[in-house]
Chain A
Amino acid sequence: MVRSRRQPLGSVIAVNAVLVLAAAYFLLPLLWVVIAATKSPGDLFASFGLWFSDSPQALENLSRLFTQDGGIFGTWVLNSVLYSAVGAFVAMVLSAACGYAIAKYVFRGRETLFSVILGGVLVPATVIALPLYFLLNAAGLTGTYWAVLLPSMVSPFGVYLARIQANAAVPDEVIEAARIDGAGDLRIFGSIATRMMVPALVTIFLFQFVTIWNNYLLPLVMLNDTKTFPITLGLTLWNSQTQRDPMFYQLVVTGSAVSAILLVALMVSLQRFWKADLTAGATKG
C-alpha cells in the first residue's frame, strides 16, 4: 500500500498520536502484569509498578505458580485450552455451516431465522448462565466438562459473520460451476466455500476462543471440582485466599501474566490467516 501523497502531514501526525495513545492505554496494564510477575511478593507493592525491581525472580515465581497445590495451575491451563479450543472450533464449524446455508439457500422463514439468531447476540451471557444451569442440571451434566463445553459451542455472532462473509466471498457463479462439475452440496461447502471463507472463520474462532477463555460466570455456576476449573475460576479462587496468605497475590499476578501471554501468542500465531481473501478475482468482475 502506498500512502497517498495528498494527505496533509498534520492529520497523519494526529491520527498516529491517537493510535499511540490508544495502544498505550491497552498495553500498559499488560506491561504492568508482566513486570509484576517478575517481582518477589515483597517488591510487588514496594517497588514502582512499571519497572523491574532490583531482584527479579520470574523463574522462581513461575515454578511456584506451577507447583502450588500440587501443580493445579497446569491443569487449569489445559482446561482453559480444552474449553476454548474445542468450544471455539465447534462454534466455528457450526457458524460456518449455518451462515453459509442462510446466505446461499433460499427457504421460507430465512430472514426470520436469521433475525432470531441475531437476537441471540443481544442477550448477555450472564443472563443465560442460570437457565443453562437448570437445563444442564436436569440432564445430569453439571460439574462435568460438558457443562462448560456445550454452551460454548454456539456463537450467534459467528453465524452473522459467516453469512456476511459467505455473501461477499463465495460467488454464486462458483457454486453453480461446481454443481455443473458434479459436486454435491456438502462437498461444495466443505471443499470450496469454507476455503473462501477462511478469514471469517479465523475471526470467529479467535473471537469465540477469547470469549470462552475469559468466561467466568458459566464455569462458576457449572463446576464443583477445582480439577475442572479454567484459569479464570482458579485465579479467582486463589485471589480470595490473599486475605489469609498474601503470598497468593504473587501467584495470582503471575498466573494472570501467563494467561494473557498465552492469548497474545495465539493471536500472533493465527494472524497470518487474516490475509485478504485469496480467491478475490476468481470470477470475472
Chain B
Amino acid sequence: MFGQRTRIPRLALAGTVTVGLVAALAACSSGGSSASGGSSTGGEPVEITFQSWVPNIDQAVDAFNASHDDIEVKLETITAGPDGGYAKMLSAVQAGNPADVVQLGYDAIPDFLINDALEDITEHVGDAEDDFVPWQWQTGVFNDKVYAVPQASGPLGQFYRKDIFDSLGLAYPTTWDEYYEAAKVIHASDPNKYITAFAFNQAPWLIGLSQQAGASWFTAEDDAWTVSIDDEATLKTAQFWQKLIDEGLVKIEADFSSEWNADIQNGNVATWISGSWADAILRGTAPDTAGKWAVGPMPQWNAGDSVSATWAGGSASAVLKGSDHPAEAAEFALWLNSDPESVNILTNVGAGWPAVADTSEITALQDAPEVFEFYGGQDIWDVFAESDKSVDTSWKWPPLSSTLFSSLTDNVKSAVDGGTPLADAFTKTQDDMVAALEDKGISVN
C-alpha cells in the first residue's frame, strides 16, 4: 500500500513456495490442517477459519453455521492482537497458511496493509456501505478499496458519580470550562477527591481527548502520510490538562491500576471518560456503588456543540491475503457484523458498540434493566448512540499505531513525572512517529 513496495513480491513468492510445500506435505501429515482447499463440489460446505479473541463470539459463529449450509466457519480463539495475536496472523500470512477471517482493531488495519496482508474485498462487501455508521465504515477503506468490515467501537461518554455532583450542588459539566470549575469544587470539598484520574498510561484516552478537540493526526495522500500530532487542537487539549495538573485538580494515576480501581470504588475519582463498554467495567469493579453513577456526553470546547470521539477506534473483521476462499470469508465477515441476529449476540457478549447504522433491532440497546439500574435508571445507551453519530469521519489511523501508543504514553509519563510541559510530550511524539515511519520506509510529507 503505502511504501514498502519492494518487499511484497519476495514475500508473495515465499508464500507461494510454502503453499506448494504445505500442499505436498499435507498429503502425508495426518494431523488436521486442511490445506487441501480447492472448490467445493456438491453438498460439501466450504470450511473457513476465523481467529478472534472476543469472549463468547463462538455464539455468533454457531448462529452463522446454523443458518448457512454452504459455509462452515471454524473459530480459533487466539490471544488478543496487541498481546501477540497480530504478530501471529502476520507470520501466518507470510508462511502462506493464514486464517481466512480475523479480528482486527481499526488501528491495526494500516499495519496489515503495509505488510500486504489484507485481501481487497470491495467486490464482495462494497454494496453494504450504507448499512454501517460512516466513520466506522471508513476505517476499513483505503484508496477507495474496502479491506475490512467494521464490527464495533467504543464511542466515548463521561461516566460520573452523580451523587457526588449532586451533593456538591454541581450541574453536569457540558463544556470543558465547566469541567474545570467542577474540578475545583470537587477537590476543595475533600483533598482526597479528584474529578478524574489523568491516565498518562492510556494512549487511547489521550488520543480520544485530542480527537474530540478536532485533532486529525494522520492523513494519507498519494502513498504518503502527513503527521500532525502537534497540531493546534492537540496543543489546546494539552494546555487544558496542564492547567488541571498544575493546580492539582486531577489525580495523576494509571487507569486500571489497583490504586485506580480502589479510587473508583471509594469515590476518590468522580468521573471517567471512556468507551461504551466501560459500563461493564464499572459494574464489575465497583458493584457497591450501584445507583450512584450516571453517564453524560463529553464536555464540549464550544458550548452547544456536540462533538465526540472514540476509544482507539474499534474492531473489524478482515480477510487475510492468501485465504483460499476470499468470497466466502467476506460473506461471513459481512454477516457477522451486520446480520441483526449476529449483532445482537455480539452486543450481548460485550463486543462493543455495534457498527451498524440501524440499531433499532438490537434488543440489548433498547432495554437493559440490570445495566440501567446501576446508573440510577438512566438509559445510558442513548448517550452513546448520540456519541457514535458525533464522531468525526476524517480521523485515520496510521501504520505503526503500536509505536504511536508507546511513544505517546512514554512521553506523557515522563512529562508528568518530570514536571515538563505536556505540550512538549506531544511534540516529542510527533518527532518519534515521523522517525519511526521513515525508518520503515514509509514516506512522510
Contacts and interface: CB of A to CB of B under 8 A. Distances in A.
B409 interface: no
Interface in A131-149: 133-134, 137-144, 146
Interface stretch (A172-180, A195-203, A218-226): A218-226
Given A133-B95, A134-B95, A243-B277, A237 B22 contact: no
B94 A224 contact: no
Contacts of A243: 256, 277, 281
A42 B22 contact: no
B124 to A, nearest CB: 24
Interface stretch (A98-106, A117-125, A244-252): A244-252
A44 B285 CA distance: 10
A45 B35 contact: no
A31 interface: no
A46 interface: yes
Nearest to A217: B84
Contacts of A67: none
Contacts of B259: 45
B78 interface: yes
A191 interface: no
Contact of A140 (B35, B49, B77, B281): B35
Given A133-B91, A138-B21, A45 B262 contact: yes
B83 A240 contact: yes
A217 B91 CA distance: 12
Contact of B79 (A133, A140, A142, A233): A233
Given A42-B265, A247-B284, A226 B277 contact: no
A49 interface: yes
A41 interface: yes
A221 B32 CA distance: 17
B29 interface: yes
A205 B256 CA distance: 39
Contact of B77 (A133, A141, A237): A237
A236 interface: yes
Nearest to B78: A224
- For the residues of A in contact with B, the DSSP-based class is helix
A226 B77 contact: yes
A130 interface: yes
A138 B51 contact: no
A140 B83 CA distance: 25
Contacts of A240: 53, 79-80, 82-83
A143 B33 contact: yes
Contact of A137 (B18, B80, B277): B18
B94 A142 contact: no
Contacts of B82: 240
A142 B18 contact: no
A144 B265 contact: no
A14 B22 CA distance: 62
B277 A144 contact: no
- Of listed B18, B78, B87, B96, residue having the most chain A CB within 10 A: B78
Interface string B18-41: 100110011011011101000000
A42 B84 contact: no
A241 interface: yes
Q: Which of B18, B76, B95 has most chain A Cβ within 10 Å?
A: B95
A225 B87 contact: no
B284 A138 contact: no
A244 B80 contact: no
A216 B284 CA distance: 29
Contact of B55 (A45, A138, A221, A241): A241
B265 A134 contact: no
Interface string A2-38: 0000000000000000000000000000000000000
A130 B284 CA distance: 38
B258 A45 contact: yes
B265 A45 contact: yes
A107 to B, nearest CB: 35
B95 A137 contact: yes
Contacts of B350: 244-245
A206 B35 CA distance: 38
B97 interface: yes
B35 A42 contact: no
A23 to B, nearest CB: 24
A16 B384 CA distance: 60
A12 B53 CA distance: 54
Contacts of A146: 31
Nearest to A140: B29
Interface in B276-314: 277, 280-281, 284-288
Contacts of B96: 137
Contact of B51 (A139, A220, A224, A237): A224
Contacts of A245: 55, 280-281, 284, 350
A246 B285 contact: yes
Contacts of A143: 32-33
B390 interface: no
A56 B229 CA distance: 48
A140 B280 contact: no
Contacts of A46: 261-262, 265-266
A144 B53 CA distance: 19
30 contacts: A42-B265, A45-B261, A45-B262, A134-B18, A134-B91, A138-B18, A138-B22, A139-B29, A141-B31, A142-B33, A143-B32, A143-B33, A146-B31, A220-B88, A221-B84, A221-B91, A224-B78, A226-B77, A236-B79, A237-B53, A239-B83, A240-B79, A240-B83, A241-B55, A242-B256, A243-B256, A243-B277, A244-B280, A244-B350, A246-B284
Interface of A: 41-42, 44-46, 49, 130, 133-134, 137-144, 146, 216-217, 220-221, 224-226, 233, 236-237, 239-247
- CB-based closest 9 A-B pairs: A240-B80, A45-B261, A140-B29, A246-B284, A224-B76, A45-B258, A137-B95, A140-B25, A220-B84
